[in-house]
């Protein structure tokens, strides 16, 4: 029985039945819990239960590190929780419990623009019920849940200042991680090479070109993320834009 949970099977394939089921389960979790929290939980319950859910996600990440270390199979090039999604998982319980608005704003953009695509294009090799598959899906579902929970339940609204701070932080983090990758022979945050498998990175060219492309995509995505939250302010400006018709001259 433990072999099913611990022994690598290498059976996961993107866009097959298992992927579809796990994807649907993640979306259900992300949608249902904020709805339930706002409708049925009081303020204390909202804070406590989301923190416990986030702790569950962080625990699966820590279990991987502890298990692989004591099993003698820890790989410093892959098992240190330094990928962006792993880092977000470990900080999310604190954000939810202490209601750190500013840190939520920073992580919101990183999660929606950088981590959410991981449930669409998983970089996963192990199939359920392997612990790595459980960890992967729970980690990504929980951090996306935390991002939306802050908005829908806590009432936070992402701002331009949040987007700027988020962009600065991700570049500072990359600057710190790149030499660590070189020292360890690792590829955390995929700074030194593309992730394995078929992912959107394949559309961005070879290394290091895709790093520069990601900077432009980051700005584009952050701007797109802001639009629905500030649409009521943006809409009047768009409605006032007049396009000259045939035979009319623009008088400006």
| Chain length of the chain | 252
- Give the pLDDT of residue 247: 55
Rg, Å, the chain Cα set: 21
Measured in degrees and rounded to the nearest 5, phi and psi for residue 12 equal -75, 135
115, 88 contact by CB (below 8 A): yes
Confidence category of residue 8, pLDDT binned at 50, 70, 90:
confident
Average predicted confidence (pLDDT) for the chain: 89
Residues 201, 202, 206, 210: is their CA dihedral positive or negative?
Answer: negative
- Give the pLDDT of residue 210: 85
Q: Which of 129, 132, 151, 135 shows the shortest CA–CA distance to 30?
A: 151
Q: Which of 153, 173, 147, 172 shows the shortest CA–CA distance to 225?
A: 147
103-142 pLDDT, tens digit per residue, is 999 999 999 988 888 899 888 899 999 999 999 999 999 9
182-238 pLDDT, tens digit per residue, is 999 999 988 988 877 666 777 777 888 888 888 888 889 999 999 988 877 776 766
Q: Which of 49, 56, 81, 68 shows the shortest CA–CA distance to 188?
A: 81
Q: Which of 92, 120, 119 shows the shortest CA–CA distance to 107?
A: 92
Residue with more model confidence, 9 or 88? 88
Q: How far is CA 120 from CA 123, 163, 199, in A?
A: 10, 23, 9
Structure tokens at 41: 């939980």
Structure tokens at 7: 């022994």
For the beta carbon of residue 23, count every other beta carbon within 10 angstroms. Answer: 17
Question: In this model, does residue 93 exceed pLDDT 90?
Answer: yes
Q: Write the CB contacts of 34 (distance below 8 Å, at least 6 apart in sequence).
A: 145, 148, 149, 152, 153
- Give the pLDDT of residue 2: 76
Q: Mean pLDDT lowest for which of 9-23, 70-84, 156-170, 193-207?
A: 193-207
Q: Write the CB contacts of 104 (distance below 8 Å, at least 6 apart in sequence).
A: 95, 146, 147, 150, 154, 156
- Give the pLDDT of residue 143: 97
Q: What percent of the chain has pLDDT over 90?
A: 67
Q: How far is CA 38 from CA 29, 50, 204, 218, in A?
A: 14, 12, 40, 31
């Amino acid at each position: 029985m433990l072999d099913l949970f611990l022994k690598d099977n290498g059976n996961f394939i993107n866009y097959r039945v298992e992927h579809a089921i796990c994807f649907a389960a993640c979306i259900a979790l992300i949608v249902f819990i904020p709805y339930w929290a706002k409708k049925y939980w009081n303020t204390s319950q909202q804070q406590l239960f989301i923190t416990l859910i986030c702790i569950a996600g962080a625990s699966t990440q820590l279990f991987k590190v502890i298990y692989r270390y004591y099993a003698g199979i820890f790989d410093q090039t892959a098992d240190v929780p330094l990928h962006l999604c792993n880092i977000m998982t470990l900080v999310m319980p604190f954000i939810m419990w202490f209601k750190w608005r500013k840190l939520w704003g920073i992580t919101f953009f990183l999660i929606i623009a950088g981590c959410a695509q991981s449930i669409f294009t998983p970089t996963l090799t192990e199939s359920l019920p392997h612990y790595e598959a459980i960890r992967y899906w729970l980690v990504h579902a929980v951090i996306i849940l935390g991002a939306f929970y802050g908005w829908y339940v806590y009432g936070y609204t992402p701002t331009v200042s949040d987007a700027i701070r988020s962009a600065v932080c991700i570049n500072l983090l990359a600057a710190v991680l790149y030499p660590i990758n070189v020292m360890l022979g690792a590829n955390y945050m995929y700074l030194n090479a593309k992730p394995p498998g078929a992912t959107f990175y394949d559309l961005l060219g070879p290394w290091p070109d895709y790093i520069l492309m990601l900077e432009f995509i980051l700005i584009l995505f952050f701007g797109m993320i802001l639009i629905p939250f500030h649409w009521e302010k943006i809409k009047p400006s768009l409605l006032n834009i007049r396009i000259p018709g045939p035979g009319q001259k623009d008088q400006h």
